[in-house]
Structure 1
Amino acid sequence: MRIFTSLTEGLRIAFRALSINKVRSVLTALCIIIGITMVTVVDAVTTGMDETFDRSMAMLGTNVVYIEKWPWDDDLEWWEIMNRPEIELSYRDFLQERSKLASEISAYAQRGTNIKYKGETAERVGIVGATANHLLVQGMNIVRGRMFTEQEVRNVSKVIVLGQSLVDGLFEENEDPLGKQVKIRGRKFTVIGVLEKQGMFLGLGDADNQVIIPVKTYGTLFGLKNDVRLGVKFPDEETFIDGEYEIEGLMRQVRQLDAAEDNDFAINKPQAFEEVLSQFKNGLYMGGFVLVGLSLLIGGIGIMNIMFVSVRERTKEIGIRKAVGAKSWEILSQFLIESVTICVAGGVIGVIIAGILTLIIDQFFTATMNVSVVAFAFILCSLVGVIFGFIPAYRAAKSDPIESLRFE
């Protein structure tokens, strides 16, 4: 019972001491605030990146490789890649006839354009010209209407599937876009479907700000000499490993490459993004935690310094408490509680600031606050308070009561 009473009294004394020296307490906790803010924000950004990355990779499909002129990792010099021959639409038929492992092979090209509907114009829209199985390769779904057919691709039909951002931007609320006609370069396209909402791709671009039209219709608008790409999907992960080599061999055949010649095409995999993300996160963690460590170290030294000052200012009070029977551990706990309280208060302020910054960052990039990291932040604050507050508290606990009473 005495332990509980002593701890309660120590907490009351700690809050009273902090309230008397508000400015000094805030300045003392400033580095703690900065450190906790940084560790929480860094984790919020990386957590948001992980969640966004998983959603973004789902947009690229599962067990899929992409055959393109340009590699995603940019290992080669740009002028070497520039001289490569373009990917041709006919390669899709070649691969379909000869591949034994691929379940779907699509061809597509894309660029930016403007789309009009009545008096509304959507600018910088991603327009994708694709084969009818494009959604099967990319793992996307239609939520309203339908996808166009291979027959419509062959017939160069002017039909279009809209992303959700285009539906929201061009049409009035509750207006059914199906059957309506939108214009691209002055040509009318009939809306036959609406894509499932995708969200942001890697937190940078709106994946719903796109439309899909038949690839041959796209060719009449923009041509198909440049930027044709092939998407090859495999039924499972095991087949994916062998299928990548099969597709590479078939592409070398269609390109008529000798055994000694390097590939003049790129086989891109979503895993390339994962490696880049991992490197970025490691750099962010390393830089962030070095700064966090320095902030907490400086903050801890500040806590120790201010606690020495506090012990000196209250030397007579310590002597009086000891004279009326206070135990050394009670004096020790009183100053430890005060030290921890300053740190935890700094942690609370740091978490609040981090929460505000997380909301702001999430508007422009991606960030998600992790509850477990918030709990870790408070544990970290308490440890800093205990570690750096122990020596001053121990000195106070071991002080001689008679000498303390004589102190002026």
Structure 2
Amino acid sequence: EQNVALIADKFAERNKLDVGSNIIIKEEKLKIIGIYEVMGEFSPETIFIPFKTAQRLFNIEGKVHFLDVTVDSIDNVQKTIDYINNTLSDGRIKAIKGMEEVDPTILLLNNIKRISKISMISSSIVAILIILSIMFINVRERAREIGILKAIGASNFNISTQFLIESISLCIIALILSIAITLAINQPLVDFIGEREKTEIIEKRQDMLTDEEIAELPEELKDMFGYTDLEKLKSMNLKITFFPQILIYAILLTFLLGIVGSIIPAYYISKLRPAEVLRFE
């Protein structure tokens, strides 16, 4: 049978449909022969119909724009994608894991999100290393002061607390400066990255199909593969929005860096004896 369809359970429930009911697609009646449970990224509006029927209804006989490939294990998904892309490497076919790789808007935001994560992790590591270096140099240069304080009875805890306060104060100053710099450069930086990513996405999308082939696509398929969104993507402007949670996280990270930055001074102070101060004089 050709005029048959599979529909989602939620779609069937919402429209009071059952096996044996009929639906109309492109002015043609299709009989429902099965109802499936919605899983994964399939939307409740996804309807499965025979391949030949789809080509006839959408006037694309002899053409294939989209194929679903099922693998035997989730571990083989990436291997299958790589195999398809390497075997059919003329650029006319591209294997993807999900529709988020097709939607140009989602793709743009995911790319910027990935860049932001890498930048945040890198900057945090650099900040920790800088603070540790500064505090270590600070302790070494103030060895005489530490020796005198210990000689007159100051405990390791009291001296370590002083360096902890200095470390946190240093981090707070750095936080204030970083917020000011972020406010000044964030929007221009996002605009630059956004334009670069948009250009790359648009060029890759246009390499997959020619303008003539895109024009021949039914509107439904243009929407599905994000071709109708390309013009919107070109004019899209990304705006930076600051949330209170971000400031809270920044403050917590500042105190964490301050504590980490005081670890080396605390260890050094606990080992230092007043008599050893002369070695640094």
What's the TM-score once normalised by structure 1's chain length? 0.34
Q: Which has the larger radius of gyration?
A: 1
Relative contact order (C-alpha < 8 Å, sep 6+): which is higher?
1
Give 1 or 2: higher helix fraction.
Answer: 2
Give 1 or 2: higher strand fraction.
Answer: 1
